Structure formats: C-alpha cells, structure tokens
Structure 1
C-alpha cells in the first residue's frame, strides 16, 4: 500500500525477458552510441535470450544470472573453432612435404575457400593456431552483465519489475593476461615486408602513433598537417552489423586530440598523398568524395575489417608471430615506454581515458625499467666516487 501511495507499485505481468529486451532495444536506440547498441543487441540475441529469454521478467533473480554467467564462461562460445580444425586436418594429411591445398581443407572442414586460403598461408608460414576455449572470455561476460544491468535499471524505472537482480551480482573478474606485442626487430621486419603494399603508410602511422583502427580508417586530410607534422584524431570509421559507418568523435574523451607524428611517418604520408592525387586526377568526377587519407584507387575508404585481414596476410607472409591489428597499438605503447617516453605522454598519445588504467596495463614494461631507474637516481644523488667514501674498511 505504501508503494502504491508513492507511485512505485508494480502490476503483475507475464512479460518475458525476451519480450522486454525487444521493447527495450527499440526504446533506447536513439539515446545510445550506435556501436554499443549493436554490440549489446548481439549479446542479447546470442547469449541472453537463448538461455533466459523465456523466463518471466518479474521472476528473474540473482541465482539465475549467476548460473547464466557460469554457463557462458564454460561453454558459451557460439562460433566453432574452425581454425584449429583446419590446422589439424592440414597437419595430419601432409605427405612428403606436400600438404593439402585450400580446396581440400575447405571441403573437409566445411569452411569457405577464402578462409581456407588464409589459413593455409598461415600454416605454411609456421603460424600454429591455439585451441580456442569453448567458453567466453571474462571480459565478454562482463560486457553482457553491463547490458543486463542497464536494461533492468530501465525495467525498474518503467515499473515492469520491482528490483534489479543484476545490482546484487558481481560479474566475473577481468582477466589480466598480457597482450602479445612485437618488439623492435619484429616491427622493422614487418615494415620492410609491407613497404610495397598499398597501405604501407597506414601501417607505419599505426605503429608510430598507436591510434585505434577506426580512427586511422576514418582519418581525413583536413585533419592532417604535414608541415607541422600533426594529425587531429576525431572521426571514426566503425563496423556496425558488418557494415562500415562513419562516426564523429572518438571512443573516449581523450581520443579526440591533436598528436605529433615523426619525420619518417610524415615523409611517407607526403609520398602517399602524391600518389593519391594522381589517382584523383585519373578518375576525375568518378573519384569517391570524402577526402579520406587512406583509400583505394577510386577514393573509396577501406572497410576496417579489410585492413585487419590485410594486416593478417602481410604478417603471415613475413613469418612473424601472429598478433591482432589492435595489438599494434600495444606494440607502439610498449616500444615508446622502453624508449624512455613518459607514461603520461604515451597514455595521452594513444587516447587512454584513465592514466591509472594505462599504468596498470603496462606495469610489466615499467617494472623492467625499475633497476635502471634506481641506478639513475642514485647516480644523480651521489655522483662519482661517493660510494667509496662510505664503504666499510
């Protein structure tokens, strides 16, 4: 009666979790970032609705959410591990140094010929895939929890349910596994191997700035000042539902900024712009508008996924350890720290919103310099010959 007097009474309802989520995604689409909205919708469709979608919304409780998270952590992955299956077939059918071709691998493992070709190139380059865990990563489950919590906050506000069980549930701990990065020799080897690729300047810019993939694909020439050797990172080219879209603004507040580029990168961009201007003149009015820095011959900007796939092929051809395109960002940050650049400067350059999180992420790199820091500080304090004056007889 008190809740009714205060306008907080919740009427009994048979509305299911799936029905509520369908209504909720329509209602919040205009108020959410498009990438987040699409990711959360995919989470709901793939991981939430199949497990608890038929449950009545008002009966959803904490134990059900905990069981959902536990199941997703152990067996939640939907995509089958095709890569490891292809490698196992390719390895077991090698005869006298004549392994099966992409068509054989494709037919045996039920994959596309394109996936099989890329896989065979990796295996021939000595890149051995690791078996993928059947469960989801803790970070993914944490993202799913964030989506459920936000949705249930609105469910309570809309008086669809009396409480939010996600508020009383702790999501899985975030894993702190180190990202695989390339060292200086690896980076130089990749840059030499990709020097004749059309997007060589793109990879060079990525490895000397560490900006995000969407930012480098969405970079426009009016945001590049080669005379001052600066770029302004603002526009993003993101993937939503498999399609590339332009999006104004970076991922975080610090992502929108002007950063300096080195002389080598600036010279590479100048040479690339000359080639692009020749292509623009050749295509004339058929040249794609947009003024993107990195384009195909007719001015069309690349799909971010195509850049990732191109990077994978070039890295495999160079015989380098396989890392993701996003790991180039970590490779740059690690190299900059080892070169002695201030952690605060590196954090600002790559657009981290929280310097404290940056220090946690790269603590292993900074720890490696601890011994050198001790010696440098002592040398400054004591100078030469001080140690002998206090040494015991």
Structure 2
C-alpha cells in the first residue's frame, strides 16, 4: 500500500484561507503596496472559492508590479484632496469652482462616507438616481428631503433648477469619473468604477438667436445705449459675455482694424478675476470692419468724456473697453440692466444675451460662410460644435431646396 500523500507546504506569500466565526471566509496574503513595501492584505467572501478568486487576483496584480493602494481614503477625503491638489493647480478658477459645487452639493452627501477602495458601480448608479430625483423635485418646486414643503430648489446652497436633469446627471458623472481616473493614475484604486456606468447623452438645443431683421432693429435701438459697441461686437463677432467684459483697449487696434481676444472677466469665489480665454481656440485675432470700427471709436470718445465728468479721484483707469460709469469692471450679471430693457423695447421675449452669439453664428452660416471660418471668428474649440449645434437649416432653406428638386423632377 503506497504511503499517504503529504499535503504541499504553502510557500511564503502564497496566502491562506480560513473560515470565520460569522460563517464567511477570510483570506490573507502579502502583496506589493503603492509605497513600495509588502504588507499582508485581507479579503472576505461568502464562500471559499470567492475568497480564493479575490486572493488570486491580488497576487496576480502584485506579481505584475501593480501595487495595492496604501491609503485608506473615504470618498469625501479623497475628493477634497483631488480638488485642492490636482484640479486647483491645473484648471481654470471657474472650472475648479464648478467641480467644487458638484462635489459638495451632489457627490459628498450620497457617497462621502464610503471607502474609496470599496466603491462599486452600483454606488455610482445610486448617486445618479438621487441626482435625477433632486432635479425633478427642483423643477416641480418640491423639497426632496421634505416633500410636504414647497421651495425653489432642494440642493443645499446651490440651485440646479437651471440645468435639465440629463445635463446635471452628465456633469455629476463626469466630475466623479475624472476624480476616480486620477485615483487610478496615482494607484489609490485599481479601477475607475464610474466608467462602468453609462449616462444618457444630453441633447443640446441651442437657440438660433434672432433673425436678420431683429438684429438690424437691435443695432438701431441700442445706438443710444452707452454699451452700443458691445452689442455690435456681439452680433458681428459672436463674442462671449466674459470676453467682451475682459476686453482691453490694448487688445484693440482701430488703425489696423484688428481685435485680439486673450482674456475674460469672471466672478470666481466671490471676486472678479481676469482669467485666460476659455480654450486655446478662444484666443484669437479677428478683423474689425465697418460698423465695428465706427462703434468702438464713438465708444472710446464717450468713455473719455465720462472720465472727465467723473471728478478727481473717482475715475478708475482699468484699461478696459467696457466699464461702469466710474471706469471699474462691469459685474457680469449687471449686464442684464442694459440688455433686459433693450430686449423688452424690441419685443424679443425671453431671448438671452448669449443668444446674440448664436445669432452671429447662424447668420454667418446662412450667408454661406464656410464653417471653418465661422469657427475661427467665434472661437469654437471644435468645428463639430459649429456644425452639429448651430448649422440647422431653417424652414425657408428647406423649402427652397425642395422647390429646386421639384423643378428637376417636373
């Protein structure tokens, strides 16, 4: 009778699996950590096979030189670190502010106390479901936490009612996905679970702005407004509000007929700041022609007159093209004090100031200007934005095209 086979002795680091008093199984093995050391890590499961698979995966990664995270972060602690040490030094202040609002209002209240390493796709789906519920409540004027009460918005400290539900969900998902991708890069977690969750793509419906006749009336009606030149530049060049309010006279060459867009004016963290243009393509030089030159020359003369009338010590020489009556930068939200009465006098309804930028794009495309030229004038980052969002044929254009076909077919 052959001798009994002796059990193979486990090698150092191979790991052990044993039952727990609570009925589950526990496994442990020494694996590589992100700080370069090797430490004993534990895994748990309902069955021995489940624990064996988890332990085998840890050891496989360790053999490939992929370390286990050595930090035991909670989601809120990691996101605080990410915002301060990753986003703030590399992103624009407005971007950091937007990310901070999403983290504080939406992500932390739902996932803040969870361990980052234990985060799963199901947790991300639960977060997005909560966001969708809140946005629906906001739209209906209901407090999501106290449905019996009515309030303007359920989000603590910040209102999301101005964003469609799909767009808000997409923003929250994008912020969490970006944060977790950095955690993967820094070897704090193995995988980005947010990438395992799909979100609906928002459908952008950009208002084409006002028509050519309304634009003509706006130019005429704004002639008596001290910001007449601002409306002209918006309609002719499609400049953004922040670009207009950050424009300096040093960026304007009335003799050569050119205008450079290099900075914007934004309110960030409670204070007005000059920040670089939105994207690299937003930094652009555009020609000044006709009414643009005339309006800027007239505006410069009026500004000089305002400075002389302000009195000694009251005028601030900010060097900006568009200023308050004492030379200081214009608060972006205060532009509505000029725009709303002008809009009402023309009967334009709820048209936003930003829709004048859309008007410029639409009118240029309607005139047959090549999309790549339109893109460079208005500073779109991608020509796809110019074509996919703005370049929609009007009913009149469709009718004309079908009439041509009708003539051929007859």
Would the aligned equivalents of 2:232 and 2:291 in 1 still touch at CA under 8 Å? Answer: no
Task: Kindly indicate whether structure 1 or structure 2 has the higher relative contact order, using CA contacts under 8 Å at least 6 residues apart.
Answer: 1
Q: Secondary structure at the match of 1:278?
A: helix
Change (3 A) 1:357 1:286: same
**Which structure has the greater CA radius of gyration?**
2
Distance 1:12 1:241 in 2: 31
Does residue 209 in structure 1 map to residue 267 in structure 2?
A: no
Aligned to 2:84: 26
Residue 376 of structure 1, CA deviation:
9.1
Distance 1:54 1:140 in 2: 22
Does residue 39 in structure 1 map to residue 98 in structure 2?
A: yes
Distance 1:67 1:372 in 2: 50
Change (3 A) 1:40 1:275: same
Does residue 70 in structure 1 map to residue 129 in structure 2?
A: yes
Correspondence list, 1:1-393, <5 A: 1-5=59-63, 6-11=65-70, 13=72, 15-28=73-86, 29-76=88-135, 136-179=164-207, 181-248=209-276, 250-282=277-309, 283=311, 286-365=314-393, 369=397
Residue 157 of structure 1, CA deviation:
3.0
Q: Secondary structure at the match of 2:392?
A: helix
Would the aligned equivalents of 1:74 and 1:136 in 2 still touch at CA under 8 Å? Answer: no
Residue 208 of structure 1, CA deviation:
1.3
Q: Secondary structure at the match of 1:365?
A: coil
**For structure 2, which runs of at least 5 residues remain unmatched after alignment?**
1-58, 142-150, 153-159
Higher helix share: 1
Distance 1:134 1:77 in 2: 12
Aligned to 1:129: none
Change (3 A) 1:193 1:74: farther
Distance 2:113 2:394 in 1: 49
Distance 1:245 1:156 in 2: 33
Normalised TM-score (structure 2): 0.72
Q: Secondary structure at the match of 1:259?
A: strand
Higher strand share: 2
1:88-146, Cα deviation, whole Å (9 max, x unpaired): xxxxxxxxxxxxxxxxxxxxx99xxxxxxxxxxxxxxxxxxxxx979744233222222
Q: Secondary structure at the match of 2:393?
A: helix
Residue 258 of structure 1, CA deviation:
1.0
**For structure 1, which runs of at least 5 residues remain unmatched after alignment?**
83-108, 111-131, 380-386
Aligned length in residues:
333
Distance 1:219 1:39 in 2: 24
Residue 163 of structure 1, CA deviation:
1.7
1:291-325, Cα deviation, whole Å (9 max, x unpaired): 10011222111011211453234313433221222
Distance 1:17 1:368 in 2: 54
Aligned to 2:47: none
Aligned CA-pair RMSD: 3.2
Residue 57 of structure 1, CA deviation:
1.7
Distance 1:79 1:269 in 2: 43
Q: Secondary structure at the match of 2:114?
A: coil
Distance 1:20 1:274 in 2: 54
